[in-house]
């Protein structure tokens, strides 16, 4: 048990006044004090007052300093309408400072996410889009700790760096993913991008290739060398375009068609296997080979059925063929066509979903569906290699 404090007045022989010694522990200034009084009675009265205060507040309680008391009163005025205590506010502030100390900047969060996506072997186009989103964001936002960034700051940054609703939504999705990774790693306790609103891009009509346009693409798969500078031999592109048009395989060089090999094609089982490492959705799927695609496949000599389906420099050759066919800038039109003509011919949306690799059929309706007639579908699935005599199709 601690000893009871006594404030016994002492006479100052030099001045003749009575002095009360106040230890630093009980001083308003936090330092030792010596208070002098003209009479012994006044000094004893102050000593008793001090003892009574200690008895009321506790033996170890120190009086608050005057300037601190003023500051505390000001703080109470500020929080009066918020139904919180000063202790709660201070604790929350200390927790926030601790979170800041253990957090990282948005700049570092982007670099971490990009490194993770590369480690996961995501498509180069995906990694490229992360890097592009990182590049367009202002340094003022990138240099902030992820735990401090607000919804308004994210919205403002996206507003100022995008020109269209589609680009806004694209960058928003990548920024949201970066915050999700930071939240998962414990660098932030919320994802401010989740509550930002997606922009309405309006209804975009999906373009479908006609039979005439498909035949133009196939006709454009020829050797252009010697016709103009840097011309390429595109004659080996025909089979790749057939897979895109009649199997609905995503046509990018870094994606499904670019990674597809002849080992993934089974003529006997009339099946194309899209491996998880090839698929955009990282899932295995099988695609039924239609009769006209089977004819295109058999038209390729057996000795040439090895390695990849697409020829070398597929990206540039594909672009040139599409340009010559009058379909520049429409690389996905064949996949769109496959989806629409397949549904018109067979009417089986579940089978189509499995073939196209969609987990949710609303994706198909949002991006691919463009109603075709039975007559148009029959014409589409009756496209065969030149010189091949095909049996006449009937509507199912």
Indicate if the pLDDT at residue 217 is higher than 90.
yes
pLDDT of residue 63: 60
Q: Which residue has the higher pLDDT, 340 or 62?
A: 340
Give me the chain's average pLDDT, please.
86
pLDDT of residue 362: 62
- How far is residue 324's CA from residue 263's CA, in Å, rounded to a whole number? 31
Is residue 3 one of the residues assigned to a domain?
no
Percentage of the residues of the chain whose pLDDT score is greater than 70: 89
Residues 278 and 226 placed together within one structural domain of the fold:
yes
Residues 234 and 312 placed together within one structural domain of the fold:
yes
C-alpha dihedral sign at 48, 54, 57, 59 = negative
Q: From the CB of residue 235, how many other CB atoms can be counted at a distance below 10 Å?
A: 13
Which range among 105-119, 237-251, 322-336, 354-368 shows the weakest confidence by mean pLDDT?
A: 354-368
- How far is residue 120's CA from residue 283's CA, in Å, rounded to a whole number? 14
pLDDT of residue 330: 84
Percentage of the residues of the chain whose pLDDT score is greater than 90: 46
pLDDT of residue 170: 92
Residues 255 and 135 placed together within one structural domain of the fold:
no
The whole domain housing 77 covers 69-102
CB of 325 closer than 8 Å to CB of 222:
no
Indicate if the pLDDT at residue 394 is higher than 70.
no
Indicate if the pLDDT at residue 206 is higher than 80.
no
Is residue 5 one of the residues assigned to a domain?
no
Indicate if the pLDDT at residue 79 is higher than 60.
yes
pTM of the predicted protein model = 0.60
- How far is residue 334's CA from residue 331's CA, in Å, rounded to a whole number? 7
Which strand ranges, in their side-by-side order, compose the sheet holding 271-274? 265-266, 271-274, 285-288
Residues 188 and 123 placed together within one structural domain of the fold:
yes
Q: Which pLDDT band holds residue 251 (cuts at 50, 70, 90)?
A: confident
Residues 140 and 95 placed together within one structural domain of the fold:
no
Q: Which pLDDT band holds residue 387 (cuts at 50, 70, 90)?
A: confident
Q: Token match 């199912």: residue?
A: 396
Residues 74 and 57 placed together within one structural domain of the fold:
no
Domain endpoint, select from 149, 171, 195: 195
Indicate if the pLDDT at residue 152 is higher than 90.
yes
Residues 236 and 264 placed together within one structural domain of the fold:
yes
Indicate if the pLDDT at residue 309 is higher than 70.
yes
Q: Which residues contact 255 (CB under 8 A, 6 or more apart)?
A: 123, 125, 278, 280
DSSP 107-139: HHHHHHHHHHHHHTT--HHHHHHHHHHHHHS-H
Which range among 22-36, 185-199, 263-277 shows the weakest confidence by mean pLDDT?
A: 22-36
Q: Which pLDDT band holds residue 92 (cuts at 50, 70, 90)?
A: confident
* Ordered alpha helix ranges (H), the chain: 40-57, 66-79, 86-102, 106-119, 124-136, 139-142, 151-161, 165-184, 211-219, 238-247, 256-259, 291-298, 314-324, 333-346, 349-356, 361-367, 374-380
Residues 31 and 87 placed together within one structural domain of the fold:
no
> Residue 142 belongs to a domain with what CATH number?
1.10.150.130
Residues 284 and 163 placed together within one structural domain of the fold:
no
Indicate if the pLDDT at residue 1 is higher than 60.
no
- How far is residue 213's CA from residue 327's CA, in Å, rounded to a whole number? 8
Is residue 394 one of the residues assigned to a domain?
no
- How far is residue 268's CA from residue 243's CA, in Å, rounded to a whole number? 17
pLDDT of residue 55: 78
Q: How many domains does the chain have?
A: 4
For 391, counting Cβ atoms within 10 Å of its Cβ (0-12 exposed, 13-18 middle, 19+ buried), the class is exposed
Give the three-state DSSP class for 262: helix
pLDDT of residue 319: 92
Is residue 2 one of the residues assigned to a domain?
no
Is residue 396 one of the residues assigned to a domain?
no
Is residue 81 one of the residues assigned to a domain?
yes
Residues 95 and 118 placed together within one structural domain of the fold:
no
Domain endpoint, select from 148, 163, 195: 195
Which range among 109-113, 151-155, 233-237, 281-285 shows the weakest confidence by mean pLDDT?
A: 281-285
List, for residues 328-372, the tens digit of each pLDDT value. 888 789 988 998 899 888 888 888 888 887 665 665 565 555 678
Q: Which pLDDT band holds residue 240 (cuts at 50, 70, 90)?
A: very high
Is residue 27 one of the residues assigned to a domain?
yes
Residues 243 and 320 placed together within one structural domain of the fold:
yes
As a residue count, the chain comes to 396
List, for residues 17-41, the tens digit of each pLDDT value. 999 998 887 777 778 888 899 999 9
pLDDT of residue 62: 58
Is residue 205 one of the residues assigned to a domain?
no
Q: Which residue has the higher pLDDT, 84 or 218?
A: 218
Residues 83 and 49 placed together within one structural domain of the fold:
no
> Residue 333 belongs to a domain with what CATH number?
1.10.443.10
Domain endpoint, select from 143, 164, 195: 195
């Amino acid at each position: 048990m601690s000893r009871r404090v006594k404030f016994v007045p002492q006479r100052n022989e030099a001045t003749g006044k009575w002095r009360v010694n106040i230890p630093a522990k009980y001083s308003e200034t936090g330092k030792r004090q010596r208070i002098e009084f003209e009479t012994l009675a006044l000094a004893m009265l102050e000593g008793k007052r001090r003892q009574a205060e200690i008895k009321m507040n506790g033996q170890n309680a120190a009086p608050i300093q005057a300037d601190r008391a003023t500051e505390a009163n000001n703080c109470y005025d500020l929080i009066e309408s918020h139904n919180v205590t000063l202790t709660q506010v201070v604790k929350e502030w200390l927790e926030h400072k601790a979170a800041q100390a253990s957090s990282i900047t948005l700049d570092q969060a982007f670099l971490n996410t990009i490194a993770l996506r590369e480690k996961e072997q995501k498509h180069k186009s995906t990694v490229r889009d992360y890097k592009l989103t990182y590049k367009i964001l202002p340094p003022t936002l990138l240099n902030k700790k992820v735990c401090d960034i607000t919804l308004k700051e994210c919205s403002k940054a996206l507003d100022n760096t995008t020109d269209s609703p589609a680009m806004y939504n694209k960058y928003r999705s990548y920024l949201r993913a970066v915050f999700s990774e930071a939240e998962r790693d414990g660098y932030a306790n919320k994802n401010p991008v989740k509550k930002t609103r997606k922009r309405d891009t309006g209804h975009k009509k999906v373009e479908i290739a006609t039979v005439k346009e498909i035949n133009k693409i196939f006709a454009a798969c020829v050797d252009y060398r010697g016709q103009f500078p840097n011309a390429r031999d595109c004659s080996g592109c025909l089979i790749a375009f057939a897979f895109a048009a009649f199997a609905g395989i995503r046509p990018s060089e870094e994606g499904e068609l670019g990674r597809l090999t002849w080992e993934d094609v089974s003529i006997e089982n009339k099946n194309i296997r899209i491996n998880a490492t090839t698929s955009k959705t990282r899932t295995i799927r099988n695609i039924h080979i239609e009769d006209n695609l089977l004819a295109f496949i058999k038209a390729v000599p057996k000795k040439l059925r090895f390695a990849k389906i697409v020829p070398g420099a597929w990206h540039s050759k594909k672009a040139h063929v599409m340009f010559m066919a009058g379909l520049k800038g429409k690389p996905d039109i064949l996949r769109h066509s496959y989806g629409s003509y397949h549904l018109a011919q067979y009417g089986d949306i579940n089978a189509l979903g499995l073939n196209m690799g969609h987990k949710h059929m609303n994706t198909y309706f949002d991006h691919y569906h463009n109603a075709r007639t039975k007559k148009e579908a029959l014409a589409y699935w009756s496209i065969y290699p030149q010189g091949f005599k095909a049996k006449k199709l009937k509507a199912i």
